[in-house]
Structure 1
Amino acid sequence: MSAGINGAAHALDPESAAAIVLRETKADIALAERPIPQLLALKAGASRLAIPVRQGFIDRSTVIDELLEQAESTGLLARTSEDAVIRAIADALDNPEEPPPAVLMPREYGPVLTAPAVDFGIQHVPLSIAEWQARKLDQPDPLMGDWLTTTSRVLLIAGTGLGKTNFAMAIGMAAASGQGFLHWRGRRPAKVLYIDGEMSRRLLRQRIADAVERLGEVPAGFFAFSHEDVEAFAPLNTPAGRACVEALIQRIGGINLVIFDSIMCLTTGDMKDEESWQQTLPWARSLTRRGIGQIWVHHTGHDETRGYGTKTREWQMDTVVVLEAVRRDDTDVSFCLDFRKARERSPATRLDFQQARVALVDDRWTFEAAEARRPAKVSPLGGKFLDALRNAMAGDERVNLRGQPAVSTDVWRAECVTLGLIDPGAKAHSARTLFAKHRRELVSANLVACEGDLTWPL
């Protein structure tokens, strides 16, 4: 066994060390007996845990809950107010003693050590350029295009009534089915959990039905949870709320993506304050480590160009997407899709992060990209559907859309029937699903563009 700190035969990971320090702190409070020494022991222990809390090795709310419970069991709460104890813990976590006593190292592993002497298992971590160049790391596991993977943390921001729930659910269902969506190509069928904290069960069921109809299939890997189905569903910045979600993930058998709708409804506390998000962040990081991508839906405030409340939420996000309203007479769901932050953007992937105008017109998602996009390859049958569109464009039934020649869906579909791509004798639903599937394929490949009922080749 490798030698640990001070030559001890222990290889202690930071999470285990933090848990032991918490246990030692609880014991110190019990031994102090009188209120003032107990309060000092509590603050000293919280100071020791400040760094691991900030680094995500132990949850802030766990520290507060357990120290508060210990204060109650030792009689400290009976002599001091609960608010005073909570303030003492929070103050020590936010402003630890300098230098922090023992930082992470439990006393049972040796003498009290200050921060510079603590070993976090860093003796073999890569530091030099040569070490980083030789390092073997897992490649991203994409779920949609190049912008959404199983390690993504996405903040999706939009104003009330703009269609963010419909949009987030459409992303989730497309990822679950492996289909492309808008200008993003599909990857593989994934397991997606949608957690709703806003709507009634009745409205959530309707939203699911609408999204399935637009997709053209029922994705087996899409799961939705309503906050109404668990009595007194706890906020996600509490241990009980996170435990509930973990139980859902376990029941499903693991997931690849989770969508939280929304931060304001699924967490408690002042949205302008950092505390509620800081209590949630260590768990969000743990989901990332387990290969679970996340989309956190968030509201704007009076300023509809940014998320409501503290901007610190964006610091630990890989991607920040803002939806800004674009007025159209033919729909209420129309917005500009703007990637304000995109850590995964590169010259090779930048087109997936381009600004685009998106709308839900006649129960169909449409988009208009701000930049030209390289066409992608499509299936042989998809290519024949493209040929049918070009044939239709050469006919007399094309129309003019603000200077852009286009044809209606009915005209394109009729040409597909003429070419034998769609069987007119088949069930209407089957024919509609086949047509919709290849229409989406061509849109995702950037070979056709559409607006409302009109489509044209690019």
Structure 2
Amino acid sequence: MTQRNDRGADDGARLRSLSLGDLLSVDLPVRDYILDPLMKQGESLMLWAAPGVGKTMAALSIALAAAGGGKFLGWKAPHPFRVLYVDGEMALADLKDRLVVLKDAVEGLDVDAAAKNLRLLVRSHQDPEASFPDIATPEGQQTIYARARGMKADLVILDNFSVLAGVDDENDAGAMNPVLTFLLRMKQAGIATILVHHSNKGGESYRGSSKIATTFEAIIGLKANSGVASRYTAAFDLAFTKFRGRRNDTIVETSAWLEEAADGTLRWRWKESEDAELGRVVTLVKTCRYGRDADLAKALGVSTGKLSGLKNTAIARGLIKAPDWKRCVEAARASESGLDAFPDVAEADEDDAHNDF
């Protein structure tokens, strides 16, 4: 008992606190974006998807972009960073094939820098008698932590939770504690971490207890996009279910796929997803500031023909009623003419509801 208390007292003595005055006056180092604006040094992110959707292709592309100062889906590494990629299940030959394809697919990649800065710790590359790190155990955590510190890694990618964490029941909140402790330790060390994970059976969220989500600055879900053909099974809709950082036009629901270029190499292509685009349309229309299709189309960055299609789809899906669209257009025109504007959509909806009785 005494030893435990003494040890606890020693640990407590090592903890540091500071006053508000100290915090306000201290000069803290500026944390670089590893991929701007997706994540900074020392932050953590979860990337989840169902099997076969393309989460490993996405994770490897992030690793390459970070290690080689490239860009993935609009997220740019300002300079090359050191990256440790831990893979728990893929055959080494398959991993090589994917990286060969992706080194040409990642925009602006410095291949020589990536070759130097990206290191891979792969289970299939080990002796069968060697134990591979388990991030749910202190020993496994220390192995990865020591490797990362030894190479001065800025980013560690863990692919994937199910094969790297020996957790009996992923739905048990308490079973997540060791993994959370490890992720928080990496934050304390200033090492960014990406955890690749599987989706639940419905494919609508990540698998297991929601407690695992507490430490992440960002959570990204990938869902299969059957409308885009990709011979490398990497065509998905990407959505943020959590994001604490600074948003710009790249932090949106996105459709992404690998497309073959004229020279036979593959390139990542992406665009705002239809759901996100429809959401922007409806939001702008409801401001009642656009009396002409041309002005609304310009604000959206689309042609008037494309706007017409988006309008029809939004109305067909019930995102906005046709009378409400018309009312907002007329209100905008009235405002431009100096006349009294029509009631806004919310007020009009209330009036319609009262008139129903």
Structure 2 residue 190 is the aligned partner of structure 1 residue 291: yes
Q: Deviations over 1:334-364 (max 9, x none)?
A: 222111111113xxx3334222111122232
Aligned residue number for residue 166 of structure 1: 57
Query: Are the equivalent residues in 2 in contact too, given 1:180–1:187 (CA < 8 A)?
Result: no
Structure-2 change in CA distance of 1:103 and 1:341 (3 Å): farther
- Could you tell me which of 364, 370, 376 is aligned with 2:267? 364
Aligned residue number for residue 18 of structure 2: 125
Query: Are the equivalent residues in 1 in contact too, given 2:83–2:117 (CA < 8 A)?
Result: yes
Aligned residue number for residue 4 of structure 1: none
- Structure 1: which 5+ residue stretches go unaligned? 1-20, 26-47, 49-101, 110-117, 373-401, 405-458
Q: TM-score, normalised by structure 1?
A: 0.52
- Structure 2: how far apart are the matches of 1:119 and 1:256? 29
| Deviation (angstroms), 1:237 | 1.1
SS at match of 1:335: strand
- Structure 2: how far apart are the matches of 1:208 and 1:341? 28
- Could you tell me which of 201, 225, 232 is aligned with 2:121? 225
Query: Are the equivalent residues in 2 in contact too, given 1:333–1:360 (CA < 8 A)?
Result: yes
Aligned residue number for residue 101 of structure 2: 210
Query: Are the equivalent residues in 2 in contact too, given 1:183–1:352 (CA < 8 A)?
Result: yes
| Deviation (angstroms), 1:263 | 0.7
Aligned residue number for residue 350 of structure 1: 248
Matches within 5 A, 1:91-106: 104-105=8-9
Aligned residue number for residue 72 of structure 2: 181
SS at match of 1:359: strand
SS at match of 1:167: helix
SS at match of 2:221: strand
Query: Which AA in structure 2 matches 1:24?
Result: Q
| Deviation (angstroms), 1:125 | 2.1
Structure-2 change in CA distance of 1:273 and 1:247 (3 Å): same
SS at match of 1:237: coil
Matches within 5 A, 1:42-57: none
Matches within 5 A, 1:389-400: none
Query: Are the equivalent residues in 1 in contact too, given 2:104–2:267 (CA < 8 A)?
Result: no
Query: Are the equivalent residues in 1 in contact too, given 2:156–2:192 (CA < 8 A)?
Result: yes
Matches within 5 A, 1:6-405: 24-25=3-4, 104-105=8-9, 125-127=18-20, 133-215=24-106, 217-218=111-112, 219=114, 220-230=116-126, 231-251=130-150, 253-269=151-167, 270-331=169-230, 332-345=233-246, 349-362=247-260, 363-369=266-272
Q: TM-score, normalised by structure 2?
A: 0.66
Matches within 5 A, 1:413-452: none
| Deviation (angstroms), 1:135 | 4.7
Q: Deviations over 1:244-283 (max 9, x none)?
A: 32343355x2111010000111001221123443112222
- Structure 1: how far apart are the matches of 2:88 and 2:174? 20
- Structure 1: how far apart are the matches of 2:87 and 2:218? 21
Runs of 4+ in 1 over 3 A off after TM superposition: 102-106, 118-122, 130-136
| Deviation (angstroms), 1:310 | 0.5
- Structure 1: how far apart are the matches of 2:245 and 2:92? 36
Q: Deviations over 1:414-442 (max 9, x none)?
A: xxxxxxxxxxxxxxxxxxxxxxxxxxxxx
Structure-2 change in CA distance of 1:329 and 1:249 (3 Å): closer
RMSD of aligned residue pairs (Cα, Å): 3.0
Structure-2 change in CA distance of 1:121 and 1:328 (3 Å): closer
- Structure 1: how far apart are the matches of 2:118 and 2:76? 18
Q: Deviations over 1:68-105 (max 9, x none)?
A: xxxxxxxxxxxxxxxxxxxxxxxxxxxxxxxxxx9943
- Structure 2: which 5+ residue stretches go unaligned? 261-265, 278-304, 308-357
| Deviation (angstroms), 1:403 | 6.5
- Structure 1: how far apart are the matches of 2:123 and 2:180? 21
Structure-2 change in CA distance of 1:228 and 1:275 (3 Å): farther
SS at match of 1:264: helix
SS at match of 1:315: helix
Q: Deviations over 1:99-146 (max 9, x none)?
A: xxx99436xx9xxxxxxxx88867x6234xx76554533322111112
Higher relative contact order (CA 8 A, sep 6+): 2
- Structure 2: how far apart are the matches of 1:364 and 1:295? 23
- How many aligned residue pairs are there? 263
Query: Which AA in structure 1 matches 2:257?
Result: A
Query: Which AA in structure 2 matches 1:300?
Result: S
Larger Rg: 1
Query: Are the equivalent residues in 2 in contact too, given 1:204–1:226 (CA < 8 A)?
Result: no
Structure-2 change in CA distance of 1:120 and 1:354 (3 Å): same
